[in-house]
Amino acid sequence: MKNDLKEKILKIIEKNNKLTDEEVAVMLGVATEEVAIAVKELETDKIICGYHTLINWDKTGDDEVSAIIELRVNPQRGSGFDRIAEKVYQFPEVDTVFLMSGGFDFMVQLKKAPMKEIALFVAKRLSVIDEVQSTTTHFVLKRYKDHGTLFVDEGGDKRMVLTP
C-alpha cells in the first residue's frame, strides 16, 4: 500500500468521515478494497485515532460551557513534561491536552460543564498538582470556526441598520 494513497485518504476523510470506502475510492480512482485496507492500516497504526462529530451546541438548549486552561508548570528532571501531562490527562473532566511553546506550557481543554464545576475542578484538582505554578482559565463564549467548520450563518445582509 502506498503512503501517497493513505495521505490522500486522510485528507478526504478529515473533512468528511461519513464518506464510505466506495465514495472515497471513486474520488481517488482506485478500488474500494484498496481504500478499505488502507483505512484499516491507518486505524491499526493509530494514525486514525477516532471519529468525532462537531456539534453546534449554541443551537441547542445546552447551558454548559467549554473552558480552555493554560498551565505554567515546573518540569521534573528525568521525565520533563510527560509525567505532568499524564497527571492532567487522567482526569475525566479533561478533553484535550497540548504541550505549548510561549508563556504557558500546557493548554488544557475541559469537557463541557457548568461554570461552577469548572471553577471547582481548577481550584481543587488542577492547581494543587505540585508541579503547577499557575493557571489561567478562559471560558469559550462563542465558537465561530472549529476544525475548519464555520459555526456562523454566512447568508443574509450584514449591513448595520441606521435610523434617521
CA dihedral (106, 109, 115, 121) positive or negative: negative
pLDDT digits (tens, 9 = 90+) for 108-140: 999 999 999 999 999 999 999 999 999 999 999
Q: What is the pTM of this model?
A: 0.73
What CATH number is given for 57-143 in this structure?
A: 3.30.70.920
Average pLDDT on 21-38 reads 94
Rg (CA), the chain: 21
> Considering the chain, what is the average pLDDT of its residues?
89
How is 8-34 classified by DSSP, letter by letter? Answer: HHHHHHHH-TT--HHHHHHHHTS-HHH
- 1-45 CATH choice from 3.90.400.10, 3.40.50.410, 1.10.10.10, 1.10.3720.10: 1.10.10.10
